[in-house]
């Protein structure tokens, strides 16, 4: 099955990743960002130019997500974002709905930030790696101290101020063995929307987590245990690894899965100086002479049409497409992921044209296997005369239904 794409020659920009600054106020051990000491801040002129071009092109998706990331966004004052949001809203055509989102370490959250988040309906993701020993092992200040106390204070303030949020936890060797401890921590802090990232090899960071052939089994054991326990608690509303996999796995045959990381300009990434890349946002700021540092132009000196043309003519796109085609020929999970994440192919296998990576094994194959495993047991139980779980029919299972299967 071939992944769905927009009409030939016409991009559909679904996500814009904007780097307000490359600077980060902490120094995580697994950070791959090369310019995290650079304090340059995006100009309002760049915001205006970018969205004038984007909205005039007609390429913006009807539901456009703008993610402020690729550094610590909260080191730039709330007033900067109010002005930027107002500019985008003024330029926005009625046919496009814009939603802003931040990914933050949470240490700088205060009541002013909470007011901004509420006023604009900003999606907030906070990076926290679990209880203090797990978190402080990797998420450190520039002096090497732990950051847990300030991060958890930010989370507690979000709850106090009634600001919805989710957390992203980077899984390490230690935390993979602690699903019960992680869940107990989330529940104790009222955290009910959870995402897991795998500590991966990107840029200059080489992850030790991928060493050893048993990682797939260990991660599958972890995710199965966490998912079932989370559903049994009745207090976890969203587990990304399962909830986002369900519509990719259980869908009509004619409904193809879209992978915006392999579509030209579907994910538009812009750094604080207006340089533009596409595909995996982690490529922004990395250097590679063969692929011209993964850059397609600058929004101040190039139109989006010129940037699109540069993308279509790039060696990067040629090799990404070769990788997608190779995945389509060789991988039984292709209909779920649509060709994988280019950045992980590059840094794990050395080429955009590669196929299976450890990253796609964990993020795509393991959740798919768990869902199909649970669905098979669910169907077998119904075939043997057991009553189906309450709610939608088994053809459209929910995470809760699937997790309740013995």
Angle between helices 179-188 and 215-233 (to 10 degrees): 40
Q: What pLDDT band is residue 197 in, cutting at 50, 70 and 90?
A: very high
What DSSP string describes 299-317?
TTTS-HHHHHHHHHT-HHH
pLDDT score for 30: 81
Q: What share of the chain is helix, strand, coil (3-state, %, to 5)?
A: 45, 15, 40
pLDDT score for 394: 42
pLDDT score for 254: 67
Query: What's the half-sphere exposure (Cβ side, CA atoms, 13 Å) at 136?
Result: 12
Query: For residue 120, which phi and psi values (nearest 5 degrees)?
Result: -105, 5
The lowest-confidence range among 50-54, 186-190, 329-333 is 329-333
- The three state secondary structure string of 351-396 is CCCCCCCHHHHHHHHHHHHHHHHHHHHHHHHHHCCCCCCCCCCCCC
| Higher per-residue pLDDT: 203 or 28 | 28
Closest C-alpha to 274, from 45, 98, 102, 6: 45
Token pair recorded at residue 59: 């390429």
The lowest-confidence range among 85-89, 144-148, 281-285 is 281-285
| Higher per-residue pLDDT: 363 or 396 | 363
pLDDT score for 204: 43
C-alpha to C-alpha distance for 254 and 4, rounded to whole angstroms:
10
Query: For residue 22, which phi and psi values (nearest 5 degrees)?
Result: -80, -15
pLDDT score for 202: 44
The answer to whether residue 205 scores a pLDDT higher than 60 is: no
Domains assigned to the chain: 13-207+214-249 (3.20.20.70), 260-356 (no CATH)
Residue 333 near residue 365, CB atoms below 8 Å = yes
At 274-297, the pLDDT tens digits run 999 999 888 888 888 889 999 999
Find the mean pLDDT for residues 364-369. 94
Token pair recorded at residue 21: 């600054």
| Higher per-residue pLDDT: 25 or 157 | 157
The answer to whether residue 402 scores a pLDDT higher than 90 is: no
| Higher per-residue pLDDT: 133 or 35 | 133
Residue 185 near residue 131, CB atoms below 8 Å = yes
Give the helix ranges, DSSP H, for 60-129.
78-91, 111-120
Closest C-alpha to 290, from 269, 267, 314: 314
The answer to whether residue 397 scores a pLDDT higher than 80 is: no
Find the mean pLDDT for residues 121-128. 97
C-alpha to C-alpha distance for 286 and 369, rounded to whole angstroms:
33
pLDDT score for 393: 42
The lowest-confidence range among 66-75, 199-208, 281-290, 365-374 is 199-208
The model's pTM is: 0.88
Q: What pLDDT band is residue 354 in, cutting at 50, 70 and 90?
A: very high
The answer to whether residue 213 scores a pLDDT higher than 60 is: no
Angle between helices 342-349 and 315-330 (to 10 degrees): 90
The answer to whether residue 133 scores a pLDDT higher than 70 is: yes
pLDDT score for 206: 46
The answer to whether residue 2 scores a pLDDT higher than 50 is: no
C-alpha to C-alpha distance for 215 and 224, rounded to whole angstroms:
14
Find the mean pLDDT for residues 258-271. 94
At 229-259, the pLDDT tens digits run 999 999 999 999 999 999 888 887 766 778 9
pLDDT score for 7: 47
The lowest-confidence range among 31-35, 106-110, 135-139 is 31-35
Q: What pLDDT band is residue 3 in, cutting at 50, 70 and 90?
A: very low
Reported as type and span, the H/E element at residue 65 is strand 60-68
The answer to whether residue 52 scores a pLDDT higher than 80 is: yes
The answer to whether residue 406 scores a pLDDT higher than 60 is: no
Output the average pLDDT for the chain: 88
The answer to whether residue 199 scores a pLDDT higher than 90 is: no
pLDDT score for 379: 65
Find the mean pLDDT for residues 392-405. 55
Token pair recorded at residue 247: 């519509």
Give the helix ranges, DSSP H, for 74-214.
78-91, 111-120, 132-138, 148-160, 179-188
């Amino acid at each position: 099955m071939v992944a769905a794409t927009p009409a030939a020659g016409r991009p559909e920009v679904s996500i814009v990743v904007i780097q307000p600054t490359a600077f980060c106020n902490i120094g995580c051990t697994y950070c791959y960002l090369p310019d995290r000491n650079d304090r340059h801040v995006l100009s309002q002129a760049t915001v205006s130019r970018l969205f004038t071009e984007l909205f005039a092109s007609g390429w913006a998706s009807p539901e456009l997500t703008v993610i402020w990331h690729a550094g610590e966004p909260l080191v730039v004052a709330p007033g900067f974002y109010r002005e930027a949001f107002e500019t985008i809203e003024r330029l926005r055509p009625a046919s496009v709905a814009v939603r802003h989102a931040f990914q933050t370490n949470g240490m700088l959250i205060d009541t002013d930030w909470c007011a901004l988040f509420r006023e604009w309906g900003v999606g907030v993701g906070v990076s926290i790696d679990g209880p203090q020993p797990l978190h402080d092992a990797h998420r450190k200040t520039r002096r090497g101290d732990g950051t847990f106390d300030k991060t958890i204070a930010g989370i507690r303030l979000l709850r106090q101020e009634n600001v919805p949020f989710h957390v992203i936890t980077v899984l390490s060797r230690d935390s993979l063995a602690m699903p019960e401890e992680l869940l107990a921590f989330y529940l104790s802090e009222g955290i009910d929307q959870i995402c897991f990232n795998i500590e991966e090899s990107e840029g200059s960071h080489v992850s030790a987590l991928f060493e050893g052939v048993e990682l797939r089994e260990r991660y599958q054991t972890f995710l199965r245990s966490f998912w079932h326990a989370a559903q049994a608690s009745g207090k976890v509303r969203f587990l990304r690894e399962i909830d986002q996999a369900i519509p990719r796995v259980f869908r009509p045959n004619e409904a193809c899965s879209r992978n915006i990381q392999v579509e030209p300009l579907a994910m538009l990434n812009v750094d604080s100086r207006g340089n533009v890349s596409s595909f995996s946002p982690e490529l922004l700021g990395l250097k590679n002479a063969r692929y011209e540092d993964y850059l397609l132009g600058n929004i101040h000196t190039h139109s989006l049409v010129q940037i699109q043309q540069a993308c279509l003519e790039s060696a990067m796109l040629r090799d990404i497409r070769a990788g997608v085609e190779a995945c389509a020929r060789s991988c039984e999970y292709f209909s779920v992921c649509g060709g994988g994440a280019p950045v992980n192919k590059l840094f794990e296998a050395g080429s955009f044209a590669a196929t299976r990576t450890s990253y796609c094994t964990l993020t795509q194959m393991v959740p798919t296997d768990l869902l199909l495993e649970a669905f098979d047991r669910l169907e077998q139980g119904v075939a043997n005369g057991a009553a189906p779980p309450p709610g939608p029919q088994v053809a459209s299972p929910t995470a809760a239904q699937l997790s309740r299967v013995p």
